[in-house]
Amino acid sequence: MGGSLRRLAQRKPVVAFVALAYVLSWLTWLPALLGIGGAAAVVVGGLGPLVAALVVTRYTGESVRAWARPIARWRVPVRYYLYALGLPPLLYGLVDLVLALLGYEVDPSLLADRAPAYLATLVFVAVLGGGLEEPGWRGFALPRLEHRYTPVVATLILGLAWGVWHVPLYGPLGFVVPLVLAFFYTWLYNRTGSVRLCILLHASFTPAQDHLVLLPDDVVDAGQLGAIDFVIFGTYVAAALLLIGLTRGRLGRRPGPSLSPEATTGTTSGRSVA
């Protein structure tokens, strides 16, 4: 298998990365889905994209140091930190406003009770949880896809791959939300070149989803969950379309010719980047 993967990586690095990320994560998650290993298996499986990016980078002969450099990039203007940490709470503020207008019992006082859990989840996701997917999805795959496709098309392709990767955890429709959220990550990466900021955005989205729908748990029944999910998804879609429109489809990518992934790492090759 190693030889086959190496040949695929040299011809189609993004395809090899996605395939390996699926294999590593899904095989690790399988015991958890069968009731063995629990949360630890889910966390370890979440490292699949990071490991896949590292392996495929080595197989292509590119610089691992160059791939890793954006993970450590933190010197960016403060406004991008505000975006990474503030966009998810802003979107969920809009969700709560819409729910209140629809007659739901939105209770802003729940913020104080949920703040500790929100911060704990943010730190966990940034340090050990889902945020560590980003060196794979945004740090490896996105720049290669954007070399070949427009930012919108590249984001749709990556968002679909990212979303399908979640299906074992969230079911057949688990790919839908990541497909939309990918646009917010593309803009941030294109503006900063920082995978670290994408990790922070990921770490901010997860607790926002878990803790910022400000409805008392005892007033939400199963029949309401579908309507609430529809409001959340509709807010995501509206915000993503607004972002695409405001950036005229460039999603933060600056005008001018793009460099191939090989050029940015100091290597050259005639292979396809996808």
pLDDT in tens, 73-118: 999 999 999 999 999 999 999 999 999 999 999 999 999 999 999 9
Distances (CA, A) of 70 to 139, 217, 229: 7, 40, 34
Look at 174 and 266; give whichever has higher pLDDT: 174
Cβ neighbours of residue 31 closer than 8 Å, sequence gap 6 or more = 37, 41
Cβ neighbours of residue 87 closer than 8 Å, sequence gap 6 or more = 184, 201, 204
pLDDT in tens, 198-252: 999 999 999 999 999 999 876 666 667 788 999 999 999 999 999 999 999 999 9
The arithmetic mean of pLDDT across residues 162-173, rounded, is: 92
Taking the CB of residue 78, how many other CB atoms lie within 10 A of it? 7
Q: ∠ CA(134), CA(148), CA(202), 5° rounding?
A: 15
Looking at residue 32, what is its pLDDT?
82
Cβ neighbours of residue 267 closer than 8 Å, sequence gap 6 or more = 60, 61, 62, 63
Length reported for the chain? 274
Query: pLDDT-derived band of residue 36, with 50, 70 and 90 as boundaries?
Result: confident
Cα dihedral sign, 14-19-23-26? positive
Q: ∠ CA(41), CA(45), CA(51), 5° rounding?
A: 140
pLDDT in tens, 127-163: 999 999 999 999 999 999 999 999 999 999 999 999 9
Please give the mean pLDDT across all residues of the chain: 91
pLDDT higher than threshold 70 for residue 269: no
What is the Cα Rg of the chain in Å?
19
Q: Rounded to an integer, what distance in angstroms lies between the CA atom of residue 133 and that of residue 14? A: 15
pTM score: 0.92
Cβ neighbours of residue 54 closer than 8 Å, sequence gap 6 or more = 64, 67
